[in-house]
Chain A
Amino acid sequence: MAVVFEKPKALANVPLHYCPGCTHGIAHRLVAQALDALDCADNTIGVAPVGCAVFAYDYFNCDMQEAAHGRAPAVATGIKRVCPESVVFTYQGDGDLAAIGLAEITSAAMRGENITVIFINNAIYGMTGGQMAPTTLVGQKATTAPYGRQLVGQGSPIRVSEMIATLDGATYVERVSLHDAANVNRAKRAVEKAFRRQIEKKGFSMVEILSTCPTNWGLSPVEALNYIIKEQMLPVYPLGVLKEE
């Protein structure tokens, strides 16, 4: 009997703790599929963030380090400098990467560290209970923006991928989304490409993945995919390759 579907080998055989409908599970799967496709899990060191993906060190079948909030790119830099022939990746959310860790991600990209960054943008802090993120949309409600994010005083969302793409050290930056099957497939190709480019020593690569947070958005999973990502996020965070050299 032909196997038509199976769990990626690089994904650990443990139940994930994510909320129903959260797209972290899909994003994890894409990373694991890439490690399988490139047959490099036994030579990979991942760096987990602080945020919803804090337990990611238990979910991948490879060596992992757990970083302090926002510092994953610095930790990855240290690992990569010791193990230049290993595959090193960070998996970070938007609070981690775009707020407290903005200096670390920017500087790692500036240095052209040959690492892969998986950036999950769901426009909110999930783990701590739905606070406003730098990526939160104008008008979007959060527990620390109960009247919706205000342009005056709270500003408009930061587009990290566009910013990182301006740096010479970043050689591949793409924004993808997980809101439907076609886009998941595009995301899969982007993630795999980001890892492949690292193996080919092409320098810093980052894939921004637009994701959902049904729990903190207060929506059903399907509404989250259709309403927020498709209708609200895509106009602010256009998909596509921002840079490929």
Chain B
Amino acid sequence: MAKVLMKGNEAIAEAAITAGCRHYFGYPITPQNEIPEYMARRMPQVNGTFVQAESEIAAINMVYGAAGAGARVMTSSSSPGISLKQEGLSYIAGAEIPCVVVNMVRGGPGLGSIQPAQSDYYQATRGGGHGDYRMIVLTPASVQEAVEMTVQAFDLADKYRMTVMLLGDGMIGQIMEPVDLDAVKTLMAPAVEKPWATTGMKNHPGRNVVNSLYIQPDVLEKVNERLEAKYREVEREVAAHEEMMMEDAQIVLAAFGTTARICKSAVRMARAKGIKAGLIRPKTVWPFPYAAFEKAAEQAQSILCVEMNMGQMIDDVRIAAAGRCPVSFYGRSGGMVPTPEEIVAAIEKAVK
């Protein structure tokens, strides 16, 4: 199939179906409404299920039930709705259920705005729910990458039995770009068996229980230690990033998602002005590609972190730099999107 023009939200929905997702539970919120709308139209055509839940809380708990019964399941929302889902995400982490959650981030806090933002970075990477847990967080910068990461998300979720969040923003959701959906089929990993799923005892030996309650502290501690070991494994195996013009870069931009593509324009403009700029774009923000930034901090004069928030990923960049080079910040928030020109000005300030 040739490339087709699709909105990010719709492309993600179709990619989920390509990945074998046949159960979607969601609740309307801008700017991700095209996902539930697309699923409502498309799921009946593929013998799938679309349920418009009574709330984001109900939607994530439907995900819990359906994924606990072994299906590939997705929900999507935007910032305020993702806040409501935190309860379910914590339970899902505790019960080790695989699922995919899309967050098309909008400006916050509170009701905020409906324009693109990246201010849910802490919530996504530090865990917005209670308890020691992690989610794999993928950050697409284009519609093509969003569909590839959607397919990857289902595979990673099944492999590690954990939530994979696709962390986009209003722009990734609304933008229309050419996308090759057939190409993503080649990325799919073989299906993973789910002998733990609650499908009825006639379908497996013994009883299966999906649960996150361990009332004895010593037992729960063991569970947490096991989870932690799994998270360490994910850190080793899943962290990913992209580099641009890093060979001789003296000022290194750090940015993810939409902001990273704007930074690419800025890097080219800075190079045209004779400034040796480069870019490291984390494709996963948990696990965070610390090694790439450790290396950059050795090589570069300074790192400039650019985000659509007041400075969140910069914490991870600073952890990696560990004082080896200065780390500065340029950000816009509330739904404002930085322009390449603004970023170039910030680069010029940083290299002075």
Contact = CB atoms under 8 A, between A and B. Distances in A.
A79 B61 contact: no
Interface stretch (B144-152, B207-215, B218-226, B329-337): B207-215
Interface string B43-77: 00000010101110111011111111111010000
Contacts of B58: 71, 74, 77, 103-104, 107
Interface string A53-89: 0110110011111111001001111111111001000
B61 A45 contact: no
A42 interface: yes
Contact of B69 (A44, A45, A71, A104): A45
Interface in A138-191: none
A64 B210 contact: yes
A63 B23 CA distance: 20
Interface residues of A, number: 35
Contacts of B73: 78
Contacts of A55: 213
Given A65-B68, A66-B211, A81-B51, A43 B61 contact: no
Interface range, B side: 35 or more
A82 B87 contact: no
Contacts of B213: 54-55, 66
Contact of B66 (A54, A66, A82): A82
B201 A66 contact: no
Contacts of B210: 64-66
Contact of B51 (A43, A45, A77): A77
B112 interface: no
Contacts of B212: 66
Nearest to A60: B207
Contacts of A66: 95, 209-213
Given A64-B198, A103-B58, A47 B209 contact: no
A41 interface: yes
Contacts of A77: 51, 58, 62, 65
Given A71-B88, A104-B58, A63 B64 contact: no
Contact of A45 (B49, B53, B67, B198): B198
Nearest to A103: B54
B18 interface: no
A106 B54 CA distance: 9
A74 B65 contact: yes
B69 A68 contact: no
B349 interface: no
Contacts of A67: 61, 64-65, 91
B154 interface: no
B55 A62 contact: no
Given A67-B61, A74-B53, A77-B62, A83 B199 contact: yes
A44 B95 CA distance: 19
A64 B207 contact: yes
B63 A78 contact: yes
A81 B23 CA distance: 8
B202 interface: yes
A42 to B, nearest CB: 4
Given A66-B212, A107-B54, A78 B87 contact: no
Contact of A78 (B54, B65, B202, B209): B65
Contacts of A47: 65
A61 B207 contact: yes
Contact of B55 (A44, A83, A103): A103
24 contacts: A45-B69, A57-B209, A64-B208, A65-B65, A65-B210, A66-B210, A66-B213, A74-B53, A74-B57, A75-B65, A77-B62, A77-B65, A78-B61, A78-B64, A78-B73, A79-B66, A81-B51, A81-B66, A83-B69, A86-B199, A103-B55, A103-B58, A104-B57, A107-B53
Given A75-B61, A103-B58, 11 more contacts: A41-B201, A45-B200, A57-B209, A66-B211, A68-B61, A68-B91, A71-B64, A77-B51, A78-B65, A82-B70, A83-B200
Interface of B: 23, 25, 49, 51, 53-55, 57-59, 61-71, 73, 87-88, 91, 95, 198-202, 207-213
> A-B pairs with the 7 shortest C-beta distances?
A78-B65, A78-B66, A75-B65, A107-B54, A74-B61, A78-B62, A63-B198
